[in-house]
Amino acid sequence: MNYANIKYCDIANGVGVRTSLFVSGCRLHCPGCFNAEAQDFGAGEPFTREVEDRIIESLRPDYIAGLTVLGGEPMEPENQQGLVDFLERVCDEFGITKTIWLYSGNTWDRFRPGGSRYLGEVTDRILETLDVLVDGPFVEAKHSVNLRFCGSSNQRLIDVPATLAADDGTVVLWTDDPVFSTHTM
């Protein structure tokens, strides 16, 4: 797996100050994609153990809230294979003190049994590491600058642990701080 970019001290892709890893490779090619250069699987540099170590070290300060994984498309089968051990390593290192967010142009149902080719041998392991999944393709006609942590109104911020725990298959949405959800102080 390759990665296109790493942003340290990112505040745009999840709550708080985060380290954001942009993986390379995406077959979705959403019109208006903000990161079209990362659609090429060969873009960027190899995601090595040394790169993992740098990201782990960047997560250590108390002011860093967690890790965000974007792309490209992190849930492409090749990228799932390249990410699963690293995401589990982040969980082992930091437990509940750091959150993990992942952005996918695919929707939650594609990762569940019967969903699609994206449901692979490590999909469940990846989902178990996540706190929030931002799902759905970017849709230019639904773009809004008023949205927090997503680009178009069709995208959902899913509370992954609550959704996995729901006995009836309900998708539980992540709840933002009321100050931000109401746009009032």
What are the tokens at 18? 């985060």
Residue-wise pLDDT tens digits, 1-26: 999 999 999 999 999 999 999 999 98
- What does pTM read for this prediction? 0.92
Residue-wise pLDDT tens digits, 81-122: 999 999 999 999 999 999 999 999 999 988 887 666 566 789
Break the chain down into helix, strand, coil percent, rounded to 5. Answer: 35, 25, 45
